[in-house]
Structure 1
């Protein structure tokens, strides 16, 4: 199922996207908060990333969508909804990765908003969550613009002793933060956004 936004088209990932996915993950800046800058091996993308996403899509209607320019079909990145393997809750994990050339345009927020709407309105989920390292301010801003709230801080071994410090100074360590949006809050916020004429990226 394709999902269209104002400035992008989201389509399910497939084997034809391997080259673009490899290229995306070869950018050290894109991978800075994912792997410390290391590229994802092509074999991992071919043999695990894409097949897993396709299986998710067939089983649950979730998975990974490629983010494309609707006018040129150019690859801009990807966004995903993943079903947690060890969870008894009706919840989905949101993640996204975009080419550096399109950073700062609000495309991640726009695509994420469309996928969150799909999760609540069509997949019947009760909760969408996302996580990143605490110092990844750009990714955290996307989550906050969606109306997500900070729900957990996962401290690493060399983290500050106080979790409160991480909220104020997220650049101090490599700890992870988790944000969430629950169905009741989504319904309230989406009504407000509709009344205001849409989400501001």
Structure 2
């Protein structure tokens, strides 16, 4: 297995087609999906035709992927995934940070640890100049992870949601971190 990044508790590795069952379970937990789609279940077909192709995409400016399967280092248990993808396939300057972890992984510091490691790798090795992250304004847990990972609140905004979900009426928030600010905090 190719390892992209290793931390004290996590292994981040590229996705493969064999991850479909784990992704199906993750995307079918209504609590996990609450702030994504209101908790609606995903079909196996959607996992194979929409989710996996997105997670398997290589970004030319990185020479690698932008989504990583997260496993617990000691057990190899699938925990979910991290996103660290360029907003432009041709430039690593601005990347979006994201994470989706199963409920068993919540509250254990995995999201913060993985986010910090990806941010460090991005600024130190991948030519990243700015990291951005978005979530619904009411998603206080995700906002706290962003803050603990070193990102700062940038703005409130209203996204263009095809369907309103509970909490979307409060809008969304964007956080960011610039390389210069990251260097000062190290």
Same fold judged by TM-score > 0.5? yes
Counterpart CA distance in 2 for 1:114 and 1:129 is: 15
Retained in 2: the 8 A contact 1:62–1:80? no
Among candidates 115, 128, 139, match of residue 142 of structure 2: 139
**What does residue 42 of structure 1 align with?**
44
TM-score, structure 1 normalization: 0.80
Q: CA deviation at 1:71?
A: 2.0
Name the CA distance, whole Å, in 1 between partners of 2:130 and 2:46. 29
Which residue pairs with 1:107 in the alignment? 110
Structure 2 unaligned runs (5+)?
161-166
Q: CA 1:96–1:184 in structure 2 vs 1: closer, same or farther (change >3 Å)?
A: same
Q: CA deviation at 1:24?
A: 0.4
Higher helix share: 1
Paired residue secondary structure (2:9): coil
Match of 2:171 among 171, 175, 178: 175
Match of 1:5 among 1, 4, 7: 7
Closer/same/farther in 2, CA of residues 53 and 124 from structure 1, 3 Å limit = same
TM-score (norm 2): 0.86
Question: Cα gap change, 1:117/1:21 in structure 2, threshold over 3 Å: closer, same or farther?
Answer: same
Equivalences for residues 92-103 of structure 1 within 5 A: 92-103=95-106
| Count of aligned positions | 177
Residue 77 to residue 149, structure 1, CA distance change in 2 (3 Å): same
Q: Which has the larger radius of gyration?
A: 1
CA distance in 2, matches of 1:4, 1:143: 20
Determine the structure 2 residue equivalent to 1:16. 18
**4+ residue runs over 4 A deviation:** 85-89
The structure with the largest strand share of the pair is 2
